[in-house]
Chains A and B, each alone.
Chain A
Amino acid sequence: MRQGPTNVLLAVLLSLAATPAAAQAPALSRTSDGKPNLQGVWQVLNTAAWDIQDHAARLGVPAGQSVVVGNEIPYTPAALAKKRQNFENRATADPETKGYLPGVPRIMYMPYPFQIFQTPGQIVMVFEYDRGIRNIYTNGTQHPRGPLNWWLGDSRGRWEGDTLVVDVTYFTDETWLDRAGNFHSDALHLVERFTPSGPDHITYEVTVEDSNVFTRPWQMRMVLYRRKEPNVRVLEYDPGRLLDEAGAQRDK
């Protein structure tokens, strides 16, 4: 085609019209094996650690909007009664008050930073809270033979496009889902989905399944925010040791 001025103008206009807005966003940072690079320090900005559903403020607890999709947790009638009892006794009954590991997914939405490290076969999440470590194996291995009861479960992940999908199982029944008494049994099974929505945000969704407690699977969804301060570090908050120390001081 002759490169007259009209043709050039037409070509430019057509190419602009054909470019969708999304393609203007910066490309996702990728690791050397082509996967989305989730590495860095992340933290939630919600109140799910206190209560995963809609809640007004309580003394010491900020008001918050639900991270539960639809705001409804489909408890069996017996489990709902247990949840209410948990709520009444939460100040002492919540295992997290003893400085125990808070379980999954609760450790993901404790209000402390965590850091993600990636190698092709293993993603490691290191939590400031209680020295938590999650090893998510992306090397094609399966869950080990059970039965096993771990506080942070066993995690096996794979990529579906740009989403990291993690299957988590083998839990104890000794963790709660929040400080409001929401709980599970050792039949808890999770499927997590980590989808970057931009360079500094990950949409974190988790499907919760536990036939001993819930009548059907249900979901939580929240945003993980990248901590952007220069040289930001995951430090240490070891509640068990701090409790021991406070006790030792009291008993002096």
Chain B
Amino acid sequence: MLLRHSGFALALAIALGAHLAAQNAAAPRPAPPPVGGCPPVPAAFHTCALEKAKTFTPPRTRSGKPDLQGFWRGRLSQSFSVEGVRGNEPLVGSDVMPWEIAPPMVVDPPDGRIPYQPWAVPIGRIGVNYSQYLDPRTACGSGGVPRLALQDANQILQPDGDAFIVWLHEDHHVQRMIAMDGRPALGTAIKVTNGDSRGRWDGNTLVIDSNNFSGYNWFDDSGNFYTDNVHIVERLTMIDRDTIHYEVRVEDPKVYTRPWTLVWAQVREKEQGFELLEEACREGQRDLGELMRDGIKFYFDPPWRGR
């Protein structure tokens, strides 16, 4: 979660400048560095990265596939809202966990807003979900797709035989198994928190096509959501040895007026001897009872879940 100002968001920066100057009389923060040689704002990164990908040859596995293996962390991403956080957002002034001003990770539509159908607008976007329901991740559910790739370290493995790619996330011990062997989709009655993923290579890009989601997930802390009807296509493309362009196309005709796209980066974690550790959430949680007593509801009931 990093503060971002850039030439691309110049107008926003100017508008924020006065607000921030009033809020924080300390020395201005230095401009954040480029990511993979591209501007550190999702929309500008997206254009620049795809250009770089045209001329970058990724390292190869023993079996000749692009080698995406290793430990990665999300960059140009924050968990508060995929629509970005504006300077006039009241939660920026929160005592408990102040939200940080950030540009949107939604790059299409270009206004950076999720194209919700009218009924869904008051539910996502710091609406009904946020104020009435327990964040599924807080309840020790999986952060889900694509939220998992926003936070905490992750590991990509390309096991022997190339029948599967495995994507492990430290957050609440979650795994994704991406079948690369062209197998058929699961039947629609089977629903899985992180969906059922089937992948293929499109040149040097790993394309992951996922269905069969349980719908029990949000995109971010704001409560932006999808249903169990959602179809998600992710594209992972290395643009240099330590940077992956990560693009997520979301389609759910029950919720949105059209498909839309998120972009951020995965940057290699290079600490010597790094490993993902066990994070046993449910076994350690102590606060759920109190949250229930405060009237927060489990996110099981809403009509936007098929079950």
Q: State the A residues within 8 Å of B (CB).
A: 31-33, 37, 39, 99-101, 115, 117-119, 122, 124, 126, 131-133, 135, 137, 141, 144, 150-152, 172, 174, 231, 233-236, 238, 240-241, 244-245, 247-249
Contact = CB atoms under 8 A, between A and B. Distances in A.
Q: Size range of the interface on B? A: 35 or more
B300 A32 contact: no
B91 interface: no
B193 A101 contact: no
Nearest to A246: B300
Interface string B151-165: 000000111110110
Given A100-B283, A150-B278, A241-B139, A234 B177 contact: yes
B52 interface: no
B192 interface: yes
Contacts of A131: 142, 172-175
Given A131-B174, A151-B278, A241-B141, A248 B297 contact: yes
A31 B273 contact: no
Interface string B168-209: 100011110101000110100010110010000000000000
B23 interface: no
Contacts, number: 96
A23 B279 CA distance: 46
B141 A117 contact: no
B92 interface: no
B53 interface: no
Contact of B177 (A101, A122, A126): A126
Given A117-B164, A117-B166, A131-B174, A32 B280 contact: no
A83 to B, nearest CB: 22
Contacts of A137: 275
In the complex, the 3 A-B pairs of residues with the closest C-beta atoms, listed nearest first: A117-B159, A31-B160, A248-B298
